[in-house]
DNA sequence: CATCGATATTGACAAAGATCGATGTGTGGG
DNA sequence: CCCACACATCGATCTTTGTCAATATCGATG
C-alpha cells in the first residue's frame, strides 16, 4: 500500500521510482534502468573513488587530488568520474580550472532503500 | 559505535568486513573484494531474478519457474543464478530433482548498510 | 595572444561478460 | 536398467568495458 508518486518534482530517477527489492518483482524496464547505476559502482576503481569522495571531511574532492590517489592514468580517472557522474552518484562542480566532485546523497540513500526497504 | 567482529563465525564476507562508504576511503583489497558482489546485481536479468525471488511470498522459488519468468534460455538463467549464488546473494537448496533459490537476507542488509551507514 | 596547466575526449586494444546450442550429470519412475 | 526430466557445464560468438597514449578544450596568467 505504497504511493508511487515520486516522479513529479525531480528528473526521472530509476532508483526513487523503484520499490525495494523485496516488495515486488521488477519488470524489464525497471531492471534496464537500474542496472547502469549499479554497474557504475560495480568496479574496484570507481568504488575507491566514490569512497574517497564520500569520506572526505570537506564533502568534495578536486580531480587533481583524485588523479594521485589511484594508480591509474589521468584519462582513466576522468572516465570513471564521468561514469559515476552520469549515474547520478557524483555531483560535478567546476571552479576556475579545477573540477570538484561530491557525492549525491539522495542516490546513495535510494540505493540503501533498494536493498533494505527501510532506510 | 558498531562492532566489527563478524569475521569469527561465518566465512569472510567482504561486505560485513567493510565499513559504510561514507566512513572511510576504501583500500584496494576492500574494493577488489566488494566489486564482484556489486557486479552480480549490476545486470538487468539478474536484477529481475533476484527481485522475483526476493518478492516471493514463500521465500523461495524453483528454478523451473524462473526459467519461464524471463525470456532467456535455460543455460543462461542457470548461469545468472550461479553468479548470484557465488556472490552470496542467493541460497541454493536442492530437493529431489528440483532446485530452489532464496535470497540471503544478510547480504542484502549488508549492502544496505554499505550505502546508508544506518541500517 | 601565446602559453601553461587541469580535465575531457578520442581511438585502439585486450579482457571480461552475456548469450545460446549442444552436451553432461544426477534423480525418480516404470 | 533405462528413460524422461531438471538443472549444470562446455565451447563458441558477439558485445561491453577498462585502460592507455595522443590529442583536444578550456581557463588563468604573463
B1 part of contact set with chain A, CB < 8 Å: no
Asked if residue B9 has pLDDT above 80, the reply is: no
Q: Which residues of B touch A38 (CB under 8 A)?
A: 38, 41-42, 47
pLDDT digits (tens, 9 = 90+) for A41-68: 999 999 999 999 999 999 999 999 999 9
Kindly report, residue by residue over B22-77, the tens digit of the pLDDT: 899 999 999 999 999 999 999 999 999 999 999 999 999 999 999 999 999 999 99
Answer positive or negative: Cα dihedral of B11, B116, A90, B103.
Answer: positive
Which residue of A34, A50, A54 is in closest CB contact with B47?
A34
Name the pLDDT band for A14 (thresholds 50, 70, 90). confident
Average pLDDT over residues A10-34: 81
Name the nearest CA neighbour of A62 among A92, A85, A105, A104.
A92
**pTM of model > 0.85:** yes
Question: What is the mean pLDDT of the segment spanning A6-19?
Answer: 57
E strands, A34-97, where? 61-62, 90-95
Within 7 Å: CB of B32 and strand C?
no
Are the C-beta atoms of residues B53 and B90 closer than 8 Å to each other?
yes
> Which residues contact residue B73 at a Cβ distance below 8 angstroms, ignoring those fewer than 6 apart?
none
Which pLDDT score is estimated for A12?
A: 58
- Give backbone dihedrals phi and psi of B62, rounded to 5 degrees, phi first: -75, 140
Nucleotide closest to residue A94 (CA–C1') = C7
For residue A102, list its beta bridge partners: A91
How far from B61 is each of A107, B51, B71, CA to CA, in Å?
A: 30, 11, 17
Chain B's closest residue to A44, CA to CA, is B31
Residues of chain B contacting A118 with CB distance shorter than 8 Å:
112, 119
Amino acid at each position: 500500500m505504497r504511493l508511487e508518486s515520486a516522479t513529479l518534482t525531480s528528473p526521472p530517477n530509476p532508483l526513487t521510482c523503484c520499490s525495494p527489492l523485496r516488495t515486488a518483482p521488477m519488470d524489464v524496464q525497471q531492471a534496464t534502468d537500474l542496472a547502469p547505476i549499479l554497474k557504475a559502482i560495480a568496479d574496484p576503481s570507481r568504488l575507491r573513488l566514490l569512497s574517497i569522495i564520500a569520506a572526505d571531511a570537506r564533502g568534495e574532492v578536486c580531480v587533481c587530488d583524485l588523479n594521485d590517489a589511484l594508480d591509474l592514468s589521468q584519462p582513466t580517472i576522468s572516465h570513471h568520474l564521468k561514469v559515476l557522474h552520469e549515474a547520478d552518484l557524483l555531483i560535478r562542480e567546476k571552479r576556475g580550472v579545477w573540477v570538484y566532485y561530491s557525492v549525491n546523497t539522495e542516490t546513495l540513500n535510494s540505493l540503501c532503500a533498494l536493498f533494505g526497504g527501510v532506510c
